[in-house]
Structure 1
Amino acid sequence: MTSNTYDHLRDEVYVRILGLLKRPEEETRRFAVKGTARQVLDDNTLKRFFRSLDLPELTAESHSHTSETDLIARLDDRSLSDFLAIILFMSCTIKAARTFTVELLINNSWSPSKFKLPVGREQLKELFREDIVTVDKFLAHQACFCPITIVKGHEVKIEASDRERLPYLEEKLKAEGSFGKVYEVKIAEGHFLDPLSGTTNMHPAIIARKDYLRADGPGSDDQILKQIVAAGRKCDNIVDFFGSVAIGLITYSLFMPLAICDLKDFMMETYPDRPSGISKKAEVIFSAHGLAGGLDFLHTRMMSGMDRLVCYHMDLKPSNILIYHETNSSETSYIWKISDFGMSRVKVRAENAGVESEKNFNSWILSRHKPQEPSSLGTRNRRGEGTYLAPETIAATPIIKAEADVWSLGCVISVLFAYLEEGSLGVDRYAEKRADPHSAHGFDRFFLRIWGWGFTFKAHPEVKGWHDRLIHQARHRNRKEGDAMEFILRYLENGVFREQSKRCTAQQLREKLFQTYQKYADAREDSDQPPDSEDPARARRDSRKALRWWRPSHNLIDHEPHKRVKTWSLDYEELKGCAFSHDGTLMALWTKKTLSLYTSHSLRGNDPRGNDPRVTTLVSTFQLDNTNDETNRVDWTSISLTERYLIGLNSGVKHQCYRFALLNGPAADANLDRHKKFTLPLSEVFQLAISPESQTMACVVGDLNGDQTPCSLFLAPVASPNQSYWLDKLSWPAKDVTRLFFTTDEDLYLVVRPHVSARSLEYKVHIVHINVSTKRLDTLIIDQKGFDSSSNIGLFTTFAPFRNKPDTFAIITREKQLHIRSLAEEKSSIQTEIKGYRVLRLLVGWDDTKIFAIGTPEAEHGMVLLEITVPQGRGKHISIKELERLPGLSYNAKFMEVLSHQREFKYVLILAPGEHISTSYTKWLLQTRKLQLHLEEEDSLLQSHSMYLGF
């Protein structure tokens, strides 16, 4: 029976509240989200509380003639639930609890607003009649129950951080500059308010926060920031601001959407290889065109009420250009936004009064004096003489106008074209040329100062020299692309990198960038062609269509390397995915409605007429029935297959499972003629796999309640998937499970990699092994311990299990380190560095003695197939052999791979984006025990980029 004594009830409430606190282990940061107090203090608990206060001479009802129900109603009307929760949570005496009940609930002479949290010391002393112990306890605990709510578009003020809590579930430092620090913060549910809709976030919201230090206390002029914030919302290329929080007189926090990355990280870390193909380059140029429009907005189109603002950014550089997903686009595209106004100056022009005044944004924020971040070249740029700043900014008496921003944008565009042509290596080499100590005195800038009387400068001669080089390279590859590049780079030289009075405007540069984009779009028709293309027209057509499958001809011999690989083309529209059988003999392609089956015999080397050696044979297809009822329309969502069965799941009101029997004869006899249909008790399926011997199917099942809800694992026999199934909760959201596959009929693996944006690095990856019979889960956690945390490459790269030891697998971290790990012997670990290459994928060989890897040589863009020996013990060296170059496959391409283990043939099957593919993939030769050479095939599939959807 529940005790109604006050002490017992107080302890019970303490435990319940403690269990609901956010960040409970951090004494100075833990907090209770809105509604926590009322959730714990339900009507039954409140009635028990009022009864626990009863004394013969004083009871709640005898004193006030008020029922318990009336007291509960008054608690809600006067918003005192949190106040009472503090009294109970801080273990106040029963005397203090009676005082609260009598004075704030029963007595009508007290104003509830007088005791609105957070409460001051004087009010508490008046309430508790100089009970200093209770007053001090209350003041020490009330912040935990006073988390602020961030209001979109408004400023929230906090007198002191020890009186109110910030509603952050997590905080991660993302960047640090001279005038502030940027954090990625997760705001608790219910604490991010949109006043226009009157709604709060139902789930934790992840946004960015930049913290500034005020320089002049209460007299500082932060109104200029608010004007920039208000005006910036009218332009898509100016970063949107969610609101702000002012903490006391010192700290000021500004909230904004969390970007994928900034332009610097985009070029140097996220996508270090140059974009593959003219279409991708055109997209980048179009984004730069939007950026120029944002700069023009700052210069000419900002309004604050009736006043016109002219904002000079004064610090435009790649790290201050944020990249976001384009929310209004049906396709995956990006939009670039100008951010970080820490160096900005603003002119306020009152149109009616004809008055103009100028203010500096940084006049009210304090520089943190962050040490200058060294570039990769070790140059000595000081603040005010940065790479992207205009020459006039370092003059003794600088004349700051809009043209300074145009110079900076021109520098950004010049570097951008170095990236488009040569990737991150080109950006580094370009900087090295500009900072040559013999001509630039070690300063990386786009101009050289001419020493003498007064301040004069000239454009850095290396800029034009580098432009000439880029134009020559592009024109050698594609004449139209070279002409387009020359058009914009010459405009930078003649219209931007010159004296201030003769410099173009942001709008004029924007127009030139749009014309450049149009020229690149026109150049797509002359896209890169393979040097040995026999039919250019057909090659262009094939690059826009679906799949390519590489396989060497059967009469290949070792002294004919130029004939080792040939290419096949498969045409598909709206292709959604592909699945391989475990031994690589079967492949299924699927669109919304159609399944297509191919086998290893689909490519014969010559068609019956002997005309085209690149003929493919489609073995079988299956079409879902169409329906005119939109509510019952179904599409394929997941496919998996073995040598015996293909299982397909479709969407709809009920999740249906199609099981196709592919027969047990030769692979060429497999077909989709026989199937059975089952209804499964599933919601949203994110992953699907079948065991190698076709005994068991597994699914990762998401919860429709939200992305953060833990997913479930579904296991069922292939013979009867709607019977005897097993469904159990996992610890992670479905979107974080990146791989699900069987190694044997008893061993199932899933890889859990927390979902991250392009800017963030995740340091904990879970590799989970499930025993199908016992349902036991064993987890190996890959974290940053023992690795170089200074690397900007994400920790986890890839992993592959061994074939003959299913509890052992090879792991690649940071694209360089090879680890051999075992679940059975966690302490037994082999670690070695792969020198000279960056590895993206692994395939453990047939006898576990070799590993085949797909990666790229350091300082190169091309992909290669490698053979790596498995180290036999700790400290043992490995040998790396480059088997073949993989032309057409880029570092940034997403691809699938499988290693065949047929007795007759061994090959690698690869599926990857196929736009702008030049030639072919690879084969390799293996020796038998008699050292006779046997033909080893490789079949490769390539899908066009436009059709790549969610592998």
Structure 2
Amino acid sequence: MSAVPGTTAYYDIVFIDLFNCLKPQMLRKKENDDDTLFATKHVAREFFQHENLRRFYRCVSSTGVDDDGSLDIGEDEFVRRVLERELQPFVATLVFFGAPKKALKAFVANVVAKPADIGTKLPLKQDRLNEIFFEDPTTIQNFSHNQHRFCTLTLFQDSDQMVLEDNDTARLPYMEERPIGEGGFGTVWEIKIPYGHFAVRTGGEASFLDGPKIVARKEFVRSKANAKKDFEEELDRYKEILSSAIKCDNVLLIYGAIESSSGSTFSLLMPKAEYNLYQYMDHYGCDHTKSIENMARHMSYAAGMARGVAHLHNGIEIPGRQKLECFHMDLKPANVLVFHEHDKIIWKISDFGLSRTKTFPGGSRSTARSLAPSPTTNRAGEGTYLAPESESDRGMTEKSDVWSLGCIISVLCVWLQKGRNGVKEYTKSRTESNNGDSSRFFSHKRFSRVKPNPQIAQWHKKLISGEGDKDIRDSLEYILKYLEDKVLLIDGTSRVRAGKIKERLENTATKGLKRVVQPTYDERSVDYVNNRSASVVGSYSGASSVRGWRISVPVPVPTLQGCQFSPDGDILSYYTTSNQILLYSASGRFPEESGGLLPVSAPIHLHPTHIVDIGVTKNYMVIAENARDFQFTLVSFIDAVSNSPRFDHRTFIRMDTVPSIHLIAISPLGRWIACIVKGEPTGSLPGRLYLAKREDITGPARDQSGQLNESVWRHKDLPEWTNNDANSVTSLRFSTESSIWFAGISPREHRNHVITRLPLARGDTRPLRGFESVFFKEPISCFAPCYNSNRCIIVVKGHTVVTHDFGRLSSPGIKNHVNERFQIYQIVTSKYDPRILALARPNTTYGELCLVELSVEERYSKVGVSVISRFKVQYMDHSLSKVQLRWLEPEPNAVTQNPISQDNRALIAVLAQPHRNAVFEVDMGR
């Protein structure tokens, strides 16, 4: 439909069209909430250029009843003045709230036609709006309510404090905001700041990042008086630390602070970490890969943490050549943040809300000075890691932080050896030793002296004596005995300083790394093959070659969280900690050039949710989201067989009566979707397995509210070994359309490691069958069901291969041991014969993986290992448990059994460091 310029119809149609074109270019602070729409600073200026400004002017000058359309200024002059004075945000605000024509004419007459020095920069005060719009209350209210959308603030990366009027807080460029932590102070939010609204000052000039910035916002929300006090005290600590001429990478620095003028809101902006140390140990709690390399790297990270504490105690020099000593007073894993910076992991000390400082003129410094505990000292401090003197009349000193540091290192060593469950057991044993009173590292019983909790020495002894690897055992003894003799002492004056702990940890890391042999071949030399023969290590009979590629990722580079191939290897999907899905197609062959970039389709960004798990087939993808209830997205790939699969069709699935999803999977042909669902914390609902047909999810089963009818889902309580706790399940997958598998760790006393199978009935009306499980005392590294068979190949402790037959009522399993020079991380079985491929890491080489073929001979106690290819990989820490392996093998002719094609290759995807080869193809020949 068209309209003649200058008519009322033209105004109605074109004005609405301007709004409809402007709105999609705006962002939302909250998903599906138009009231949170805002524009980045470039939107209004770029949208309202010559053509759209002329269309706007013609809307204003259109005639109607009692309106001749006359204006005080011509069209060309109007366009020139708006562009010259940068009045586009004003125009955009009028269009956004659908200002009446009377208000548009007032804008032209009282703003554009007036001299340039009259106030026109948004946001405008009430009196100025009265002048412009002749005290029209409706227009003034609408303009005042919406003008913040087009005058979004820019934040700067420095320690300045920004004080805003209460109404101006809506101008903050926050989008996709979600809570990520809570404490006695309030809440920590993850926020995304769009491009152009987060600047870095360098030499007086402001520069902007190439993409959006993810930051953390610490909001102080206790009572108004206390929130202001907490905010100002922590901000003062950060300013003092920032003022030092000497900086330390292991101490977190803030970007800035924001306060409302009324004192109703207080926030600190700071870098967003991937995890705090508590979350890090919990997240990687099932990666029980014990190696000297792993221990050495974590001792190096811990040395950085100790370096940060030493800097707070001794390294801060503020203006005037004064030394400043900062006592943190609340060191614990939750206040140690884990970052990926410049292709490496770094731990940083954070949260200075309870810290205290002292200055010493001229750099003079006494020893072991104390700070008398104030009434707020332990306000938010976690008692577990506090030093014994926190309960006495003695003051807190730098040595109080040393005690807390020693406690963290002790827990870290338990985690390295025993994983997440070991840390829980360590906590439980200390609590029982303290008669259930607390899990502190010291015991204070009535009528007796304070002493270290006896469980410390017992656990340390158990860790050392229970380790079979001499290098790891020596490293444990070197650091744990030092903690007992020099750190975890009741007399604070006898404890060493943090700098000494740093040196001890560095020595531990250096000694451990001496065993690790660094490869000498070139990183790009992915054709490097080294087949070595031994009693159980043979050479591969066919020729092989390796090619590797980097993955193209958005800027700024996100941290990879997981990856998955479709069963046929055609689709590879990575997902990131910034909630992006990156798709790559392997159809036909990958690019010929090795070491190059794999092209990526436009990434999908799920906001503001956090991706918890994915499942991929050739034509479909399911994406589980972190939410309060059952939510996931089903994606149908369009043009999936080309090099650019697209997310053209998406279906959002939700059941608000069902708890949130823990794990998700989709069957190889996309017929079934399965979810492990968390139970209610109150215990009213157990953890469950939910199963539905894909076609039912996208069909008429959806009710009028968009909710999914729960009747389409069949569900079954999790097996008994889980204690109805979904967190006990660590992986979920389909092997075929008729078999679901999952693995996990029982939270019960014996901590069994379990593989469970659930056979599916072919009919849709039958109830789900019973679970079939096999239990192990040692950690399960990986497993692979055999095709068209009840057997499953399971790797335990990285080097023991067990063949278990689920078709037998009692299968003892057949155990075979791989040469201990290798740790196996992933296996896959052939569809057509008994062969097994595995991805392994040599124990003596860092940054190298091997594709090997395993030959399991039941009559021998060891597994034959034929090395097919070796290649260098710079993988992320703790990521090898998430490596993906697909075997694209020749399909035999059903009659002659001869291969239909000669294609025989393996695809490997790892969570690599940025800009490093992440996807590999091993051509194994015939």
TM-score in terms of structure 2 length:
0.68
Secondary structure, aligned partner of 1:334: strand
2: distance between equivalents of 1:761 and 1:257?
29
Question: Which amino acid in the other structure matches residue 898 of structure 1?
Answer: V
The question of 1:131 aligning with 2:142 is answered: no
Question: Which amino acid in the other structure matches residue 801 of structure 1?
Answer: P
Deviation of the 1:87 alpha carbon: 2.8
1: distance between equivalents of 2:406 and 2:348?
16
* 1:386 aligned partner: 383
Report if the CA contact (8 A) 1:313-1:343 is conserved: yes
What aligned pairs does 1:314-393 form with structure 2 within 5 A after superposition? 314-327=329-342, 329=343, 333-349=344-360, 351=362, 384=381, 386-393=383-390
* 1:296 aligned partner: 310
User: Structure 1 residues 401, 232: closer, same or farther in 2, change over 3 A?
Assistant: farther
Secondary structure, aligned partner of 1:83: helix
The question of 1:184 aligning with 2:190 is answered: yes
The question of 1:424 aligning with 2:424 is answered: no
Alignment counterpart, residue 823 of structure 1, candidates 680, 694, 707: 694
* 2:831 aligned partner: 901
The question of 1:801 aligning with 2:665 is answered: no
The question of 1:467 aligning with 2:480 is answered: no
Report if the CA contact (8 A) 1:885-1:921 is conserved: no
2: distance between equivalents of 1:700 and 1:422?
33
User: Structure 1 residues 228, 943: closer, same or farther in 2, change over 3 A?
Assistant: farther
What aligned pairs does 1:42-61 form with structure 2 within 5 A after superposition? 42-54=49-61
2: distance between equivalents of 1:818 and 1:346?
53
Alignment counterpart, residue 869 of structure 1, candidates 759, 762, 772: 759
Report if the CA contact (8 A) 1:238-1:294 is conserved: yes
* 1:732 aligned partner: 604
1: distance between equivalents of 2:251 and 2:427?
27
2: distance between equivalents of 1:134 and 1:143?
15
Report if the CA contact (8 A) 2:823-2:842 is conserved: no
The question of 1:247 aligning with 2:260 is answered: yes
The question of 1:271 aligning with 2:301 is answered: no
* 2:239 aligned partner: 226
* 2:539 aligned partner: 616
Stretches of structure 1 that go unaligned for 5 or more consecutive residues are 368-380, 526-540, 546-571, 577-590, 624-634, 639-649, 652-685, 719-726, 743-747, 926-932
2: distance between equivalents of 1:201 and 1:97?
37
User: Structure 1 residues 245, 945: closer, same or farther in 2, change over 3 A?
Assistant: farther
Alignment counterpart, residue 111 of structure 1, candidates 108, 117, 131: 117
What aligned pairs does 1:860-939 form with structure 2 within 5 A after superposition? 868-871=758-761, 873-881=766-774, 886-889=795-798, 895-902=825-832, 905-915=833-843
What aligned pairs does 1:23-172 form with structure 2 within 5 A after superposition? 23=28, 25-26=32-33, 28-54=35-61, 63=72, 68-108=75-115, 111-112=117-118, 114-153=119-158, 154-161=160-167, 164-172=170-178
* 2:20 aligned partner: 15
Secondary structure, aligned partner of 1:910: strand
2: distance between equivalents of 1:285 and 1:687?
28
Report if the CA contact (8 A) 1:346-1:359 is conserved: no
Question: Which amino acid in the other structure matches residue 764 of structure 1?
Answer: F
Report if the CA contact (8 A) 2:835-2:855 is conserved: no
Deviation of the 1:298 alpha carbon: 0.9
* 1:836 aligned partner: 721
Question: Which amino acid in the other structure matches residue 148 of structure 2?
Answer: A
* 2:891 aligned partner: none
Deviation of the 1:346 alpha carbon: 2.1
What aligned pairs does 1:638-649 form with structure 2 within 5 A after superposition? none
Alpha-carbon displacement from aligned partner over 1:873-893 (angstroms, at most 9, x marks no partner): 324323234666523439999
Alignment counterpart, residue 299 of structure 2, candidates 262, 265, 285: 285
User: Structure 1 residues 866, 325: closer, same or farther in 2, change over 3 A?
Assistant: same
2: distance between equivalents of 1:879 and 1:290?
46
Deviation of the 1:940 alpha carbon: 9.0
Deviation of the 1:850 alpha carbon: 5.1
Alpha-carbon displacement from aligned partner over 1:364-390 (angstroms, at most 9, x marks no partner): 9x99xxxxxxxxxxxxx9955610011
Question: Which amino acid in the other structure matches residue 386 of structure 1?
Answer: G
User: Structure 1 residues 107, 498: closer, same or farther in 2, change over 3 A?
Assistant: same
Report if the CA contact (8 A) 1:53-1:59 is conserved: no
1: distance between equivalents of 2:854 and 2:688?
25
1: distance between equivalents of 2:200 and 2:272?
17
Deviation of the 1:261 alpha carbon: 1.0
User: Structure 1 residues 820, 906: closer, same or farther in 2, change over 3 A?
Assistant: farther
Deviation of the 1:501 alpha carbon: 2.1
Question: Which amino acid in the other structure matches residue 443 of structure 2?
Answer: L
Question: Which amino acid in the other structure matches residue 435 of structure 1?
Answer: T
State how many pairs are aligned: 753
Identical-pair percentage: 24
TM-score in terms of structure 1 length:
0.67
* 1:377 aligned partner: none
Deviation of the 1:155 alpha carbon: 3.0
Alpha-carbon displacement from aligned partner over 1:162-221 (angstroms, at most 9, x marks no partner): 663322220111110001311111222322122326233443322222112463688956
User: Structure 1 residues 394, 118: closer, same or farther in 2, change over 3 A?
Assistant: farther
Secondary structure, aligned partner of 2:329: coil
Deviation of the 1:457 alpha carbon: 2.7
Stretches of structure 2 that go unaligned for 5 or more consecutive residues are 553-561, 591-598, 680-686, 698-710, 723-728, 776-791, 801-821, 876-909, 911-917, 920-926
1: distance between equivalents of 2:62 and 2:853?
90
2: distance between equivalents of 1:869 and 1:95?
71
Report if the CA contact (8 A) 2:540-2:868 is conserved: no
Alignment counterpart, residue 498 of structure 1, candidates 490, 515, 534: 490
Deviation of the 1:126 alpha carbon: 3.3
2: distance between equivalents of 1:343 and 1:688?
44
1: distance between equivalents of 2:478 and 2:864?
44
Alpha-carbon displacement from aligned partner over 1:595-646 (angstroms, at most 9, x marks no partner): 99x9xxxx9xxx9xxx9565333323469xxxxxxxxxxx6549xxxxxxxx
Deviation of the 1:285 alpha carbon: 0.8
* 1:211 aligned partner: 219
Report if the CA contact (8 A) 1:843-1:898 is conserved: no
Question: Which amino acid in the other structure matches residue 94 of structure 1?
Answer: K
* 1:446 aligned partner: 441
Question: Which amino acid in the other structure matches residue 910 of structure 1?
Answer: A
Secondary structure, aligned partner of 1:208: strand
User: Structure 1 residues 130, 829: closer, same or farther in 2, change over 3 A?
Assistant: closer
Q: Does 857-866 or 161-170 show the bigger shift?
A: 857-866
Report if the CA contact (8 A) 1:737-1:750 is conserved: no
2: distance between equivalents of 1:836 and 1:98?
73
1: distance between equivalents of 2:657 and 2:827?
30
Secondary structure, aligned partner of 1:801: coil
Deviation of the 1:519 alpha carbon: 3.4
Secondary structure, aligned partner of 1:147: coil
Secondary structure, aligned partner of 2:36: coil
Deviation of the 1:924 alpha carbon: 10
1: distance between equivalents of 2:167 and 2:823?
47
* 1:520 aligned partner: 512
CA RMSD, Structure 1 to Structure 2 (Å):
5.3
Report if the CA contact (8 A) 2:837-2:853 is conserved: no
Alpha-carbon displacement from aligned partner over 1:768-805 (angstroms, at most 9, x marks no partner): 4679899998867677867644xxxx823555426xxx
Q: Does 30-39 or 6-15 show the bigger shift?
A: 6-15
Deviation of the 1:137 alpha carbon: 2.4
User: Structure 1 residues 187, 942: closer, same or farther in 2, change over 3 A?
Assistant: farther
2: distance between equivalents of 1:818 and 1:924?
36
2: distance between equivalents of 1:300 and 1:314?
15
Question: Which amino acid in the other structure matches residue 321 of structure 1?
Answer: V
Deviation of the 1:253 alpha carbon: 1.7
2: distance between equivalents of 1:308 and 1:164?
41
Deviation of the 1:321 alpha carbon: 0.6
